[in-house]
Structure 1
Amino acid sequence: MAFGLAAVVLVLLLFTLSVAIATAQEEIVRTVHAHLRDVRRWGGWILIGIGLWLLTLAILAPFFARIFPV
């Protein structure tokens, strides 16, 4: 019953989200186009942050292996 309810809620949420995106698509495109420079700048900073995080995880892998044994 719990899995069935979770599946129904997930389907309803995805359906609602797709309808909201379809109806607001033109406004979203217009807004993103107006702020394209900011979107690119933030995207770049996010990519740099993710890259630094991955490098940190790679460098500190033995430390994390001791803390979280598999």
Structure 2
Amino acid sequence: MSEPQWRKSSFSEDGGNNCVEIAVVGSGIALRESDEPGRVIQADAVAFRALTGWIKAGRWGVPGR
């Protein structure tokens, strides 16, 4: 299996190590923080869409939602 092609947000600072990176892995998505590249979490496409939907709606970190 080849190494994932990690992508950083366009909001990241140039050369900064303080952002979230994503990569397509099989039929899912892998997430990691650039300053800890060994810590990776994976989600299927449905779970990733739900996560990004919550973040965009401002629900991230709000208990009970």
Q: Same fold (TM over 0.5)?
A: no
Determine which structure has the larger strand proportion and give its number: 2
Higher relative contact order (CA 8 A, sep 6+): 2
Which is higher, the Rg of structure 1 or of structure 2? 1
